[in-house]
């Protein structure tokens, strides 16, 4: 069974559980947000990648309008509440300015492997250490799900989209761990080469061999 959902395509991937701040300036999306305020409707953000609306997207609800500008533009706060797949896409929804789609809301499987979260946390800390990133990370394995950290593991937007499409937390765990396991040796080597190049630009002490 499908439901109609207004769409707000963006060149980004939004994960369920995120809170997203948006600046709304186009007339079609100002109309959409007005309807969210007045009627409590939700809307979807499908990723727009390589000039294409992707099949999977994230449903959001409006939390608040943080600022209204004199020209009608808005700053809004939203929360991502679920995952959907587009069944039929409408470039312009009937009698509206914005796009829309008949969508199928997807059920997700929460089963996970706690020991794998521990390994992910160790790998992520190592990645941040190598890159010199000072960012607060979860204290323990039980403090996070993979979507909480997915924007911070070095995914490309295409990889983020592939990750979004996974409806099993266990599959998402394996996806992130495998990605970090491949990425960290590459980052280590790049950092080694960077330090070597930096060192080669300095004067060195020439120490001749000892004469016998």
Domain with residue 29: its CATH number is: 2.30.130.40
d(CA 59, CA 33): 14
Tell me the mean pLDDT in the region 77-105: 96
- Write the CB contacts of 17 (distance below 8 Å, at least 6 apart in sequence): 80, 145, 147, 148
Answer whether residue 190 shows pLDDT above 80.
Answer: yes
Place of tokens 């630009």: 201
Residue 194 or residue 183, greater confidence: 183
Tell me the mean pLDDT in the region 26-48: 96
Rounded to two decimals, the pTM is: 0.87
CA 56 centroid distance within chain: 13
Q: Reduced to 3 states, what is the DSSP secondary structure of residue 185?
A: helix
Give residue 40's domain range: 3-105
User: Do residues 6 and 71 make contact, with C-beta atoms less than 8 angstroms apart?
Assistant: no
Answer whether residue 204 shows pLDDT above 90.
Answer: no
Tokens in use for 196? 């070597």
Answer whether residue 205 shows pLDDT above 70.
Answer: no
Burial class (CB in 10 A: 0-12, 13-18, 19+), 53: middle
pLDDT digits (tens, 9 = 90+) for 119-149: 999 999 999 999 899 988 888 888 899 999 9
Is there a single domain that holds both residue 123 and residue 77?
Answer: no
Question: Is 211 part of any domain?
Answer: no
Structural domains in the chain (count): 2
Looking up residue 161, the CATH number of its domain turns out to be: 1.20.58
């Amino acid at each position: 069974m499908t439901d109609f959902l207004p769409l707000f395509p963006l060149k980004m991937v939004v994960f369920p559980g995120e809170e997203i701040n948006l600046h709304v300036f186009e007339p079609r999306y100002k109309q959409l947000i007005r309807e969210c305020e007045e009627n409590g409707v939700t809307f979807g953000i499908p990723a727009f990648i390589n000039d294409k609306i992707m099949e999977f997207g994230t449903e959001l609800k409006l939390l608040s309008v943080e600022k209204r500008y004199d020209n009608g533009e808005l700053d809004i706060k939203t929360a991502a509440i679920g995952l959907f797949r587009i069944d039929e896409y409408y470039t312009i929804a009937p009698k509206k300015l914005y796009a829309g789609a008949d969508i199928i809301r997807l059920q997700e499987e929460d089963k996970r492997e706690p020991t794998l979260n521990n390994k992910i946390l160790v790998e992520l800390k190592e990645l941040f250490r190598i890159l010199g990133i000072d960012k607060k990370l979860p204290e323990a394995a039980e403090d996070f799900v993979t979507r909480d950290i997915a924007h911070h593991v070095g995914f490309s937007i295409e990889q983020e989209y592939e990750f979004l499409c996974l409806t099993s937390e266990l599959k998402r765990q394996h996806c992130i761990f495998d990605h970090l396991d491949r990425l960290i040796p590459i980052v280590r080597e790049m950092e080694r080469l960077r330090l070597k190049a930096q060192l080669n630009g300095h004067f060195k002490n020439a120490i001749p061999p000892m004469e016998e």
